[in-house]
Amino acid sequence: MGKVTVGKHPCPECGGDLQWNAAKQALACPYCGTIVPLSEAAEAVGDGSVGVVEQDLLDALARMQAQDAQPPPLPPQDAKQAGVLGMLQSMAATPQAQRGYGAQPREVQCQSCHAISVFVDGKVADRCEFCGSPSIIAHESLGDAITPQSLLPFRISDGQVRDAIRKWYGNRWFAPSRLKTAALTDTLKGMYLPYWTFDANVDARWTAEAGYHYYVTVSYRDAQGNTQTRQEQRTRWEPASGSLQHFFDDELVPGTVGVHPELLQKIGNFPTTSDLKPYSPEFVRGWTVERYQVDLRQAAQQGEAQMQSQTRALCAEQVPGDTYRNLQVHGDYRNRTFKHILVPVWLVSYTYGSRSFQVLGNGYTGEIAGERPYSAWKIFFAVLSGVLALLVLLYVMGMLQ
């Protein structure tokens, strides 16, 4: 299939483009304020009418490999000049999977952090949404991005997340005072980040040496030459083996390069196994969407590595005894599927001194995580106060003796 064209969703009152409103959990007109429930659109892939569907991973990777073996696509002008052969070459290189965001996008790439932002239906920016750098240039895609199959819509409003971020700043004891008083939430941006999810059934077999602790009494001589006894731990090793059957449901792999990965780990899990909505352009109009730069092949390798690590940990839990060694795990992963999804985050990016920092809010659960500078003066005076308090305590104790 080629790129799907989806019509706009006009406001019934003024004709403006309706956008998803997190506070009202409905489509809202940014011009006249009219609220319209999200209705079912005409049937087409990527318009919200198709349910959340898992895609076969091995089939998708095979198609990508076959596509790589084809001649590279010709630009439209070169294809026309090359005649029929050029047009066929350009058409043959078009991916079969659904692509695009269901609306007219504009892409820009930051020259500092390399994130690619997708602005749907005319929204523009003069600075990077992720790091604040003014060094952004128009980005011409080599091909449309794979359309997200589903997403988590924004549920936390900008007002809610501003309050949460101010509270977070207020609890940073050693943050510079100027940081706390600055209106950093003015740089707050709402955006959708790309993620991949992977499912698989694993049948694993493991072998190991199980260790059982026991204690023996041993004699020794102390510093005075007297004979003493003590209990020493010993370990008895026995061969062990077993099997494991496990289902991995929505193993998450981020496709973003704009947000610092350690912050994503801190804002909690996104409830993708229960709360995903079928993708529809209405959810992303008016919001920034980051185009994935971790492609399906890279994400599949990372997802498999995560599954293997978890499989090993689950097998280790089955080893009897008190400890183990030489654990060997052999897993067979079957029924592997994937989805490309979008998740909502609120982002504050700022520069303090010569360093850049980010504060991240989960747009669905409201959890906050962030980076901040430290005030050397506050730390110095805190240490000094602790030392003075200790000296006073020692002086008082000395006077009482």
> What are 105's strand-pairing partners?
120
What element of type H or E holds 180? helix 177-181
Judged against a pLDDT cut of 90, whether residue 153 lies above it is answered with yes
- Closest C-alpha among 303, 291, 274, 259 to residue 364: 274
Mean pLDDT score, 81-93:
39
Angle, CA of 344, 113 and 276, to the nearest 5°: 15
> What pLDDT does 70 receive?
61
| 30, β-bridge pairs | none
List, for residues 223-262, the tens digit of each pLDDT value: 888 999 999 999 999 999 999 999 999 999 999 888 888 8
Distance CA 131, CA 119 (A): 17
Range in 87-91, 121-125, 183-187, 253-257 with the lowest mean pLDDT: 87-91
- Supply the pLDDT for residue 187: 78
Residue 121 binned pLDDT confidence (cut-offs 50, 70, 90): low
Tokens representing residue 276 in the block: 């995903």
Return the ∠ at Cα 70 (arms to 69 and 74), rounded to 5°.
140
Unique residue bearing structure tokens 């062990």: 240
Query: How far is it, in rounded angstroms, from Cα 238 to Cα 84?
Result: 71
Between the alpha carbon of residue 189 and those of residues 101, 125, 162, 186, 361, the distances in Å are 20, 11, 11, 9, 10
Using the predicted structure, report yes or no on whether residue 16 has a pLDDT greater than 70.
yes
pLDDT of residue 328: 97
pTM: 0.72
Q: What is the pLDDT of residue 188?
A: 86
Higher pLDDT, 211 or 186: 211
pLDDT of 112 over the 90 cut: no
What is the structure's pLDDT at 372? Answer: 61
Considering 140-154, 304-318, 383-397, the range whose residues carry the highest mean pLDDT is 304-318
So what's the pLDDT on residue 287?
83
pLDDT tier, 113 (very low <50, low <70, confident <90, very high otherwise): low
Alpha helices (H) in 182-234, listed in sequence order: none
Integer Cα distance of 123 and 133 in angstroms: 18
Q: pLDDT: is 394 or 32 the higher one?
A: 32
- Report the pLDDT value the prediction gives residue 19, as an integer from 0 to 100: 78
Contact yes or no for 236/209 (Cβ under 8 A): no
Identify any residues that bridge with 277 across adjacent strands, giving them in sequence order: 151
pLDDT, greater one: 388 or 213: 213
Q: Average pLDDT in the 196-225 region?
A: 94
Q: What is the mean pLDDT of the chain?
A: 76
Say whether pLDDT at 312 is over 80.
yes
Task: Please compute the mean of the pLDDT values over residues 261-278 and round it to a whole number.
Answer: 89
Sign of the C-alpha dihedral, residues 118, 119, 121, 124?
negative
Token pair belonging to 164: 């949460």
Q: How many CB atoms lie within 10 A of CB 362?
A: 24
Determine the pLDDT at residue 343.
94
Q: Which residue has the higher pLDDT, 39 or 22?
A: 22
Residue 142: pLDDT band with limits 50, 70, 90 = very low
Residue 270 vs residue 80, higher pLDDT:
270
Q: What mean pLDDT comes out for the span 11-18? A: 78
Written in H, E and C, the secondary structure of 373-391 is CCCHHHHHHHHHHHHHHHH
Please report which confidence band the pLDDT of residue 137 belongs to, taking 50, 70 and 90 as the band edges. Answer: very low
**pLDDT grade for 180, boundaries at 50, 70 and 90:** low
> What is Dmax (Cα atoms) for the chain?
102
Per-residue model confidence (pLDDT) at position 41: 37
- Of the listed ranges 66-70, 126-130, 377-381, the least confidently predicted one is 377-381
The two structure tokens encoding residue 192: 């959708």
**CA distances to 154, 164, 204, 258 from 76, in Å:** 38, 49, 50, 31
State the Cα–Cα distance between residues 75 and 165, nearest whole angstrom.
46
Q: What is the pLDDT of residue 377?
A: 47
Whether 154 shows a pLDDT value over 70: the answer reads yes
Q: What is the pLDDT of residue 243?
A: 97
pLDDT of residue 301: 95
